[in-house]
Structure formats: C-alpha cells, structure tokens
Structure 1
C-alpha cells in the first residue's frame, strides 16, 4: 500500500474525536432511571454528533485511496493505525 494521504488521516482523527465527543455527551445525559422518572432529555447534541460521525465514516470508506486498494479492509486498518500513531 502506498503512503496514506494526509486528508484521510485527518478524517480518521476527526472520526475518533467525534466518537469521544459522543461518549462525553452520552455520559452527561440523565440515566435511564432518571428519564423514566421524567427527566428532560435534549437528544439534539448527541444526534448531531452521531450524524457528523456517520458522515465522516462515509467519507473515509469512500475515499479514493481506500477504494483503490486491493484490500480495502486492510487499508482501513492501516489508516486507523496511522492516525493513532502519526504526529498530529
């Protein structure tokens, strides 16, 4: 596999950041018990973060570098590893 494009590494980092953001938002939401007891829940921020994460994932999966590789799954793993180890 050839060198991974910088924009693809940036997308993967954005995807990982959005995953952490979804976890943070989720952790701040009321518990299931609190919701059953009537706690108000604003799902908007979590829905927006999840939608952006899905959009970013689609951009990664359909990136020309990934789709041109003989083994796209191996390419995606290589992108993941590069995004986590390469300097920002």
Structure 2
C-alpha cells in the first residue's frame, strides 16, 4: 500500500491510465475481429469496408502507445493481404 501522498496519487494515475489503455486495446481488437469475421464469411465487400474502418483504429492505438508501431503495421499488412486474397 502506498504510504506517501505522491505514491497514492501515482497509484490513482496508473489505475486511470490502465483503464484507458484497456478500453483502447479492446476497441482495436473489436475492429480487428470484425475484419476477421468478414474474411471468414468470404464477403470481399464487407471485409474491405471493415478493414477501412479498422486501419485508423490500429494506427491510433500505435500512436497512443497501446501497441508498437511495427505490430500495428504488421496487423494492417496481414489483414490487407487476407482481404485482397478474397477478391481472387
């Protein structure tokens, strides 16, 4: 348990930041899941639309430090490749 006022404040700040980050991470994962579900259904149009919505969310998560920039780029790239493969 934090004893000093500054340590107590730090604990409160960490708790608030954790809640915000958890929400952002969950939001990103939801958008990714929507793309994956559209890919699984085989609907190219729906998958493209879902990817267009997910891409800025993933980038925003990277910008906020929720995921590393390279992780975000890899996720977008792999989702894009899977959506592109549906068109064939």
TM-score by length of 2: 0.42
Q: Which has the higher contact order (CA 8 A, sep 6+)?
A: 1
Say which structure is richer in helix.
Answer: 2
